[in-house]
């Protein structure tokens, strides 16, 4: 099953040599790719070496059973075999996981877009709640969050907020947060104590690099206008807000949060590039339907993925039928108990399909 590991050590040494090559060091993009490949191969090498050592120890204990007559030593050997067999199964599973095809976007930063759906002011308030939830989770992971664009609501919260989340393995952990998030709670303005249901949509888009899209300057149209806040109040007295349109697709991104037109232009371009990359990815994904249809929950943004029920202190992820009665902790950003089971579920599905 692991024949491809035969030349693993040779491959690792080859990559180590490349990391010392002045030509590769001088090429930032190539150096990053080699360093990434080296880290992956080193991880595989370490896991495979551990697996081989455990198999060797099992064989040595079996040999002891065949040759030894002392009952006490035999009992020790049998116990060792049991423990080592369990360990070898865990290592074998780890190796299978490492061999699964990698999502090329897993290492990328993301654009996190949170928008109010149905529910008016209550939906906008929950946009703010989710933004803070993800922000606290990002902080716990050592990630950086930068607001790219926002549209505050008069009642509080946001009609929409878009932020760049950067750090280690951001997309790999948050990519399955895309979808419709439903909230059930009693609004502060509700005098009868009735529970209202509102929805918020979340989109997780991998950040794009210019080399991946190859956009010609004449394909972009820039418009500048005066920023304004909720209720039409002036945020800025100069034309600093920027709208950029990709003419071939009609995809638009706007930023007015900064007082500097230059900064708003840079942020709008970042958002536009990510949306174009996401559109390109979705177009490719639509051509590969079999795998997606075989999975429970596609991660589609029109799909209701999670419900936050405040009266019962309950949060439910509908894709894997997981319910936790720790909503207060979840809203404080402690969402690993939601994210980790999702990762495990989809890894298991991938293993089934691979097998």
- CATH code of the domain containing 177: 3.30.70.1660
Alpha helices in the chain (DSSP H): 8-19, 22-26, 28-67, 71-99, 120-141, 170-174, 210-213, 261-285, 289-293, 327-331, 336-354
| Assigned token pair, 228 | 């304004």
pLDDT at 346: 87
Same domain, 46 and 187: no
Please state, as a whole number, how many other Cβ atoms lie within 10 Å of the Cβ of residue 325. Answer: 11
pLDDT at 233: 46
Same domain, 14 and 94: yes
| Assigned token pair, 134 | 């993800």
- 105 located within any domain: no
Distance CA 252, CA 265 (A): 12
Q: DSSP states of 172-217 as a string?
A: HHHGGG-EEEEEEE--TT-SS---EEEEEEEEEEEPPPHHHH---G
Are β-strands 144-152 and 158-166 bridged in parallel, bridged antiparallel, or unpaired? Answer: antiparallel
Same domain, 54 and 175: no
Supply the CATH number for residue 88's domain.
1.20.58
Q: Which domain holds residue 47?
A: 3-99
**Which residues are paired to 304 by β-bridges?**
180
Same domain, 192 and 338: yes
Question: Residue 42 in 3-state DSSP?
Answer: helix
3-state secondary structure 251-289: EEEEECCCCCHHHHHHHHHHHHHHHHHHHHHHHHHCCCH
Distance CA 240, CA 200 (A): 29
Same domain, 325 and 196: yes
Total number of domains constituting the chain: 3
pLDDT at 217: 81
Q: Which domain-ending residue is among 55, 77, 99?
A: 99
Same domain, 124 and 198: yes
Same domain, 140 and 90: no
Q: Which residues of the chain have pLDDT under 50?
A: 231-234, 288-300
Distance CA 138, CA 130 (A): 12
pLDDT at 1: 53
Spatial strand order in the sheet of 220-225: 220-225, 241-246, 251-255
| Assigned token pair, 15 | 């990559």
- 39 located within any domain: yes
**What is the phi/psi pair of residue 145, to 5°?**
-120, 125
Same domain, 126 and 91: no
Supply the CATH number for residue 277's domain.
3.30.160.20
CB of 104 within 8 A of CB of 303?
no
CB of 338 within 8 A of CB of 317?
yes
pLDDT at 96: 80
Same domain, 188 and 330: yes
């Amino acid at each position: 099953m692991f024949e491809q590991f035969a030349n693993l050590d040779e491959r690792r040494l080859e990559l180590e040599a490349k990391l010392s090559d002045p030509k590769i060091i001088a090429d930032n993009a190539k150096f990053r790719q080699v360093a990434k490949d080296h880290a992956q191969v080193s991880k595989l090498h370490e896991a495979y070496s551990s697996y081989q050592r455990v198999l060797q120890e099992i064989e040595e204990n079996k040999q002891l059973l065949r040759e030894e007559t002392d009952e006490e030593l035999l009992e020790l050997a049998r116990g060792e075999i049991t423990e080592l067999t369990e360990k070898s199964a865990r290592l074998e599973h780890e190796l299978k996981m490492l061999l699964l095809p990698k999502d090329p976007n897993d290492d990328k930063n993301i654009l996190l877009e949170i928008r109010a759906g149905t529910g008016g002011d209550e939906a906008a308030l929950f946009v703010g709640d989710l933004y803070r939830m993800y922000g606290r989770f990002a902080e716990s992971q050592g990630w950086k969050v930068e607001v790219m664009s926002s549209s505050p609501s008069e009642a509080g919260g946001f009609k929409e907020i878009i932020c760049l989340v950067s750090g280690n393995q951001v997309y790999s952990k948050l990519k399955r947060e895309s979808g419709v998030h439903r909230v059930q709670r009693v609004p502060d303005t509700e005098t009868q104590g009735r529970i209202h249901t509102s929805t918020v949509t979340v989109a997780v888009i991998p950040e794009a690099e210019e080399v991946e899209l190859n956009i010609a300057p004449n394909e972009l149209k820039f418009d500048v206008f005066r920023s304004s806040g909720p209720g039409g109040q002036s945020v800025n007295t100069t034309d600093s807000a920027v709208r950029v349109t990709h003419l071939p697709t009609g995809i638009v991104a706007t930023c007015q949060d900064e007082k500097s037109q230059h900064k708003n232009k840079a942020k709008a371009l970042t958002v536009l590039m990510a949306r174009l990359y996401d559109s390109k990815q979705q177009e490719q994904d639509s051509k590969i339907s079999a795998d997606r249809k075989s999975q429970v929950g596609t991660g589609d943004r029109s799909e209701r993925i999670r419900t936050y029920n405040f009266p019962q202190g309950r949060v439910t992820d509908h894709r894997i039928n997981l319910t936790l009665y720790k909503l207060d902790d979840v809203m404080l950003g402690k969402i690993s108990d939601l994210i980790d089971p999702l990762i495990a579920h989809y890894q298991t599905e991938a293993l089934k399909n691979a097998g």
